[in-house]
Chains A and B, each alone.
Chain A
Amino acid sequence: MKISAFHLMPHRELPADFEDRYESVWVTPPWWEVADASRVGQYYNWTLDELIHAARAGFDGVCTNEHHQNAYGFMPSPNLMGSVLARATNGTNVAVVQMGATLPTSNPPIRVAEEYAMLDCISGGRLVAGLPLGSPMDVNLCYGITPMEHRERYREAFALTLKAWQSREMFAWNGRYFQLANVNLWPRPVQQPHPPVWVPGSGSISTFDFAVDNETCYCFLSYSGARSAKTMMDGYWQVVAKKGREKNPYRAGFLQLVVVGNNDADCEAKYARHVEYFYHKCLHVPPPYFSPPGNQDYRSLVATLSNPVRRPENPKDLRYRDFVDKGYVIAGSAATVRDRLKEEVVKGLHVGNLMVLLQIGSMPHELTLENIDRFAQGVLPDLRGVWDEEGWVNHWWPERLRGAAPARARAGVAAAGA
Chain B
Amino acid sequence: MFEDVNILSLIIILPVIGAILLSIFKVSDRSIKLIAATFTGITFALAIAMFADYDRSGGGMQFVEQYTWIESIDVQYYLGVDGLSAPMALLTAFLGFLCVFISWNITNRVREYFAWLLVLETSILGVFCSLDMVLFFIFWEIELIPMYFLIAVWGTEPPLGRREYSAVKYLLYTLLGSAGLLAGILTAYFEMGTWDMTQMGGLAVGLSLGMQTLIFFLIFFCFCVKLPMFPFHTWLPDAHTDAPTAGSVMLAGVLIKMGGYGMIRLVSIFPDVAKEYGWILVIMGIVGVLYGAAATLRQTDLKRLIAYSSVSHMGYVLLGIFALDKISISGAALQLFSHGVVTGLLFAMVGVVYGKTHERRIPYLGGLARQMPIACLIFSIAGLASLGLPLTSGFAAEFLIFTGSFKSTAVAGIEVYTILGIIGIVLTAGYILWMIERVFYQEPREQFDQLSDATVMERGVIFSLVIAIMVVGIFPNVLTDIIGKSVEPIMASLGL
Please say whether chains A and B are actual partners in one complex.
Answer: no
Interfacial residues, chain B to chain A (CB-CB below 8 A): none
